[in-house]
Structure 1
Amino acid sequence: MEWNFIWRLCAAGLCGTIIGLDREYRVKDAGFRTHFLVALGSALMMIVSQYGFEELLATHDGLRFDPGRIAAQVVSGIGFIGAGTIILHRQLVRGLTTAASLWATAGIGLAAGAHMYVVAGAATLLTLFGLEALTLFFGGLGRKRTLIVYSSGRREVIDAMFNKLKTSKYTVISYEIEPTRMDGATVYRATLVIRAKGIAEEEEFVNLLRESQDITVERIV
């Protein structure tokens, strides 16, 4: 029986690692180690939930319990880990897909822990399909928002760059300028949230920013 449980844990860990490698390739915060541990832990909770109290039931006649009660807590508990991968800044949201992949990985771990290997394998393939294939075919429909923070000592340079971004292939979602004093001089810092239009390359704005020698790019998220 113990070897059967170990195989379930291994199957869950393998499925989680496969999904995690995709997230690692995409340079996401939750990589293969996190997904491995989520799947492994979920499978362990399922095994304990189903078989951890057999001895107690055998020694107490009439005792009843719900075998899915512990496993059910994984569904709500994984939300704490998923929330840690989500970044919310102004009108910018990052990490929702990775949080969803962790949630799916927890379900795959539960399936493997319940000895449903075919279901766990199929769910792993479908998760990869959602992460990669759907992005390949429909990625242009869901252009991501990008936060850009750049600064310059001249206000006209800041405004000129804003006009380039606004009138080119990008939509400016929000725009804010904050003047600050630095070493006795005034520095203007602009914060923009933009999104590419149509078939425009999402990273073309980098070339626009490089064209100006008077601009310092502080952050791109």
Structure 2
Amino acid sequence: MGALTEEFAHPTFLAFPVIAARLLFAALLGALIGFEREWRARPAGLRTHILICVAAATFGILTVEIAHSTAFVGRETVSDPLRAVEAVTAGVAFLAAGSILFTRGEVQGLTTGAGMWLAGAVGLSCGFGLWQIAGLGTFLILVVMGLLHSFEVKLGIAADKRAHQRERREARSSHKAKDDTEDRC
């Protein structure tokens, strides 16, 4: 029982409140990015972006902990925190690539994929305790995805997917109403 207690009370380099704050901040920033995607009715939304940010933050925290671990004392080991950054970047890029579709000669999902990739960077920033980078990165993501999209819609460069979906719903409901009227006759 003592070994099990010792295992779960394993000391960490970072204090647990710091770890919790980093993970919670990553979840909050991921939620902000994901909310924007949900609001625009895009495929990867709130939960996906939260999970990406928290996962990346967890990998960042693990990297810090491994670099300071006493488990490798007396053994010749080399710790390279950039490997964690590369691994998270590659893993999230794989997920992001899955959100990109090519249909009817159009590419869709590039912005969502890029947002997922950046959510990974925001999460890593949180995991490494680089709060300012994470916060500014999230702000810039929201400006690019939100404000610039609105500007593009006003200029006629980009379509507003929500308006398009609303039009389709209205067309379906008027079509259904027409069918119901014909059925009554």
Query: Which category describes the TM-score, using the shorter chain as reference length?
Result: 0.7 to 0.9
Confirm whether residue 9 of structure 1 aligns to residue 20 of structure 2.
no
Instruction: Report the CA distance between 1:87 and its aligned residue.
Output: 1.2
Structure 2 counterparts to residues 42-191 of structure 1, below 5 A: 42-53=56-67, 54-57=69-72, 59-139=73-153, 140=155, 142-143=157-158
Gaps of 5+ in 2: 1-14, 176-185
Q: For residues 60-101 of structure 1, what are the alpha-carbon distances to aligned partners after superposition, in whole Å with 9 as ceiling and x for unaligned?
A: 254322123123201111112111211111311111111111
Taking a change above 3 Å as real, the CA distance of residues 43 and 20 of structure 1, as seen in their structure-2 partners, is same
CA contact (8 A) 1:44 1:113 kept: yes
CA contact (8 A) 1:5 1:47 kept: yes
> Which structure: larger Rg?
1
- The whole-number CA distance in structure 1 between the counterparts of 2:74 and 2:82 is 20
CA contact (8 A) 1:16 1:36 kept: yes
Gaps of 5+ in 1: 147-200, 214-221
Confirm whether residue 33 of structure 1 aligns to residue 34 of structure 2.
no
CA contact (8 A) 2:60 2:84 kept: yes
Normalising by structure 1, what TM-score? 0.62
SS at match of 1:52: helix
Greater RCO, 1 or 2 (C-alpha within 8 Å, sep 6+): 2
Identity of aligned residues (%): 30
Aligned residue pairs, count = 152
CA contact (8 A) 2:149 2:158 kept: no
- The whole-number CA distance in structure 2 between the counterparts of 1:93 and 1:104 is 19
SS at match of 1:56: coil
Q: Which has the higher strand share?
A: 1
- The whole-number CA distance in structure 2 between the counterparts of 1:81 and 1:142 is 27
Q: Which runs of 4+ in 1 moved over 6 A?
A: none
- The whole-number CA distance in structure 2 between the counterparts of 1:69 and 1:78 is 14
CA-atom RMSD in angstroms: 2.5
Normalising by structure 2, what TM-score? 0.73
Q: Which has the higher helix share?
A: 2
